Structure 1
Amino acid sequence: MIASKRPAKRFVYCLVAACAVAPSVACLARDLNQDEVLELRRRGVILPLEQFIDQALGRYPGSKLLEAELEEKHGVLVYEIELLTADHVVRELKFDAGDSRLLQDKEDD
């Protein structure tokens, strides 16, 4: 009877271990701190944030900037710009910080 409980016990341990690792795998994006951002900008790895804000506002004339941040996602540096459009819709735009390509433009929830 004790031998039959061991596989169940191992399964529980594996499940607990998987749950402990899952949040770190699911969270593949990280915000960069201001020192990291300044160093990347100084080295020319990323383009200036102002360029991306202007590009986002140009797509939606009359909109207001709500938030801008630089994140690293899957090894790619991404500027996320959140706007409130003139129609009162919140939009989230994502740009490649190195070459200014628009990666995503979607209505935010």
Structure 2
Amino acid sequence: MFSMMCAARDLDQDEALQLRRQGVILPLEQFIEQALGRYPGSKLLEAELEEKHDVLVYEIELLTSDHVVRELKFDASDCRLLEDKEDD
């Protein structure tokens, strides 16, 4: 149980910038645009870079125009949408 709770790690701005400069991850703006494109009229609530099971993931939270909070997860290295769900 404990290992599952520690499976994700938030990366700070410095780590994200370094990974971006090294070409390991794509720019956050690209993912925000993609997420907002899926839900026209939505507003960005939060965006963060996490490491889960050795995969770098951008987690983006949106408030849609019909007032639903959605959480989208993208592979930070190639823009693949990994998950799109309604957030509790």
TM-score w.r.t. length of structure 1: 0.78
Structure that is richer in helix per residue: 1
Q: Which residue of 2 aligns with 1:70?
A: 49
Q: Which residue of 2 aligns with 1:49?
A: 28
Q: Which residue of 1 aligns with 2:18?
A: 39
Q: Provide runs of 4+ in structure 1 moved above 4 Å.
A: none
Q: CA–CA distance in 1 between the matches of 2:61 and 2:68?
A: 10
Match of residue 74, structure 2, among 88, 95, 103: 95
Q: Which has the higher contact order (CA 8 A, sep 6+)?
A: 2
Residue 82 of structure 2 aligns with an amino acid whose one-letter code is L
Superposed displacement of residue 34, structure 1: 1.2
Cα root mean square deviation, aligned: 0.6
Post-superposition CA distance 1:49-88 (Å, at most 9, x none): 0000000000000000000000000000000000000000
Unaligned runs of 5+ in 2: none
Q: Equivalent pairs: percent with the same residue? A: 83
Unaligned runs of 5+ in 1: 1-21
